[in-house]
Each structure stands twice: as C-alpha cells, then as structure tokens.
Amino acid sequence: MEKKTTTNYKIVVEVLGRKWKQEGKTVEETLAKFTLGWEQIKGKGILTISRGSKKHTHLMPAHLLRRIFNNKITRGIWAKNLTLLVKSDNKTNIPERLDIEKKVD
C-alpha cells in the first residue's frame, strides 16, 4: 500500500525585521499556532504562505495582522482566502481581463 504524502502549509510572518514561522496541515491550524499578541505587531508585515512549490506573499497593515492573529472569526475568513490563493494556478493571482469592447453581431 502506498502512502499519500501531503505537504503541509508553511506560513512566515515578518514584522519590523522579526520573523515567525509555523507549519500545519491546514491554513487555519497553522495560523492558530502563532502566539503573536497586540504588542508584537507594531507595523506593516509580510505574510508568506507556501505549500509545495506554490507560494504567495501578501503585504498587510498592522491592524489587519492583529485581527488575524487575535480574532478567531477573522482568522477563519483569511484562512479560507489564503487557501484559495495558494491553490490557484494563476501565477499573478489576478483574473484575466474581460473583453468589454467585444461586439455581438
């Protein structure tokens, strides 16, 4: 019997030169492992999430980082959003432009 190897999510948070790293099976579980308090998040931060070869980096303001790590509801919402970003195949994470000027005959 072959075992399926599941790659864990890895999240790195950088705020004012300090780095915190965690790893888990789901994004929400990984975010919950962080023990960042309000006093540790004093400025903008970079949140990097990766799974296997896919990676997404997101610049976040301090107030949003504080909410993500100290509020379970906000953490759940952002966990879903970050999961979708990592799963997407679009490298720029920007949807293709719709052709608005296309005429219908």
Query: What is the dihedral sign for C-alpha 14, 83, 50, 73?
Result: positive
Residue 29: its pLDDT value, please? 92
Q: What is the mean pLDDT of each run of 10 residues along the chain (105 residues)?
A: 69 94 93 89 92 88 92 91 78 50 53
Residue 58: its pLDDT value, please? 87
Residue 88: its pLDDT value, please? 73
Neighbours of 93 (CB within 10 A): 12
Residue 93: its pLDDT value, please? 46
- For residue 91, the number of C-alpha atoms closer than 13 Å in the C-beta half-sphere is 1
Q: In whole angstroms, give the CA distance from residue 30 to residue 9.
A: 7
